[in-house]
Structure 1
Amino acid sequence: MSEIPIPVPTPRLGAMLTKLAADRRSATGLLFVGLAVLMALAAPLIATHDPNRPDFVATLAAPSLDHVFGTDDLGRDTFSRVVYGAQASILVGVLSVAAAFVFGTILGLVAGFFGRWIDALIMRVMDVIFAFPSILLALAITAVLGPSLTNAVLAIAIVNLPVFARIARAQTLIVARLDFVEAGRAIGATTPRLLFRTILPNILTPVIVQGSLLFASAIITESYLSFLGLGVQPPTPTWGNMLRNAIGFLDLAPWLACFPGLAIFLVVLGFNVLGDGLRDKLDPRDASPG
């Protein structure tokens, strides 16, 4: 069987990173995201103390040479907890967005390709999910399932599922009517081949861009859930439960809220700026030849 031509090449990772690094705004976002990922991966090397080891002699200590971000009410080193907190936040963001990306894209692909009652059924379910405010829906899911990292990932993935499904469906409706897809049908290409070898590579660009933007949303949602006690549970440090713990000590130790809050702000800013850069660089109308 002849190969079906695919007119839109998938962007190469190296070329895309080079483009992003050349743009000052995108490079800034890439820097913040890279630092967060580095903290998550190299936390045991970066942290100066055991993040869960209490020191009742040094409770609520101000920032110093020994504890650069100070300590909390149990004497635990805040810098080490912020560093280890990146692990949970990045992990929840990656797993939840990846799950929503895979399942949402497949649902949108199937809905747009087959149409009729399959399209109606899938999209009505997506509309029901989309009708709820994302934070409230995530809170409701974790309240029913119970607080844990796994349930936080599941809740955030469900919340983001309709976003990927809608984008994938809209792109599939356009691509499925193009000549090269009709040519594939004419030469007897199977439905899975048409879906995953012909159409899917041509709808990935806007889906990937949306995924990069949703990382920021996922980290914020995880922080909300942990702040309210419905996300990752103590003693595992996350930026959200660090903020929750800091509420009672804002007058005595404002640094307890300052540093995890700043970490959330910089990482979310980085993902948003990087997402904007990806959108600009992956837009076919902006793509330079070669």
Structure 2
Amino acid sequence: MTKTAITRVSTLIASLLVFLVSATSSAESIRFGVVAPEGHPWIQVMQQFKSNLNTPTSPINVKESRFVKVRGEAAILEMLGSGELQAGIIAVESLTTFDPALNGWLVPFQFHKLDQLEAAAKSPEGQTMLTNLQNYNLVGLGYTFSGMRNIMSPKPLNSVEDLKGKRVRSFANDMFHNWYRRLGAEPKVIQVQDLVVNLQKNEIDAVDCDLATAVGMELDKAAPYLLHTNHMASPGIFVVSKKWWDVQSPQTQARITDAFSRAQTAGFELLAQSERDNLKTLRDRGVTVKEIPEAQFGDAPQKLRDFYYSTNLRIQQFGVAVQ
């Protein structure tokens, strides 16, 4: 073999080794983002996911990005696209601009029992929503829930009628916007990390949130009144960057999928107890709790449900499937 040929072979081998090392190292570390306070069910699910992958023989290091807690979920999506993050949990309401059918999760009073959430996540319709995220350079590997949504306020709200004219923290999501407009309230888009400041500055009159967020962020210090409505589910989706996912080996993909599947199951099992514990914590902190059943919302839930069912067939199919 000539010297030139040897050089070419050596260069080829070196390039191959660099590729293999790069591919291997990319699978050895997963950096994720999630916007939720400590102790939140989403944080617990990610801790379990981390534990599932940190095996003695072949550990995959899972690290949380603290940076996104300040910047919000838009930063997670941006960093997934740029490769700065490999994974994250994104609230469904932040993903509905990609796939409007995801609004099916947010239809008011779509769910009346927590075990319906798990069944819906495993349904063909719920799984199709995950698959469709690949059209937007995301791979959806599963769901995680933080319970049901309720309303907290600095001043007493004793009925649905009391919401009229009130500025209610909402999301940049048409389901939330239409829901609160139908109730006569003024929805205001506020990032979760800004809730306490907005309450302290009297810039909002009420907060739409799950109980875990209320407890973790100590919202009760600024909003000690709770309308216990359970009006919407609070789901998140565990996504990974498709660009990153596609270069992983089938074995690594299988490990990650299995690790999250087991973490997801653990999250489902703990959800009911988490809801009870968080409600008790708020009561123990002195929060005044007012139970508001669906019937007090009049025809607002049905009218909104009918509107979305008539304008999006997949939302209708999902709604029928989860009943």
**What TM-score does the superposition give when structure 2 sets the normalisation length?**
0.30
**What TM-score does the superposition give when structure 1 sets the normalisation length?**
0.32
Greater fraction of residues in strand: 2
Greater fraction of residues in helix: 1
